[in-house]
Amino acid sequence: MLGVQEHQQGCHSQEMKQIEGTSEKKSPVSSPLEKCSFVCHLFLFPIGLTFFLWLTIPREVVESSMGVNYYPNRDYALHIPVTALFLFLATPLLYAALNSFTVPKLNSIDSVEDVYTKSSSKSQILSRKIPFPE
């Protein structure tokens, strides 16, 4: 009889865990990346829609129905995407060039030591340049 009660208590506790597991729902937490992508979508969708409408609607329709007297030349419809693509593709090259300007030269002692290096008296006597083999 004692074994049956233990079995029933064990089953009861497992059922309670299952019920508690399903009743407890975690609140969805959005990451900063999700927030940033949502804000980008909110800004870029109207800009893209405006660009597409500017590209497709004839000039006469815009001038007569909306009363717009001037809007940019349609040649920019080609220049804007090409410039954006160029900047996107040039970013790694520009980043590498900027990084190469901030790195010390190969014959500089700064490429071996920094502010956290324990300097010996010998290295303080040496000049700030290391002879570089040619």
Query: Would you write out the chain's pLDDT as a tens digit for each of its 134 residues?
Result: 555 555 555 555 555 555 555 555 566 778 889 999 999 999 999 999 988 988 898 888 878 887 778 878 888 888 988 999 999 999 999 999 999 888 888 887 777 777 777 765 555 545 455 566 65
Task: Report the candidate in 111, 107, 115 with the shortest Cα–Cα distance to residue 131.
Answer: 107
Q: What is the pTM of this model?
A: 0.45
CA triplet 84, 87, 88: central angle to 5 degrees?
Answer: 85
Q: Domain spans of the chain?
A: 32-71, 72-114
For tokens 């804007």, the residue is 80
Please give the span between the terminal C-alpha atoms of the chain, in angstroms, as a whole number.
Answer: 93
Distances (CA, A) of 25 to 10, 17, 22, 35, 134: 24, 14, 7, 22, 69
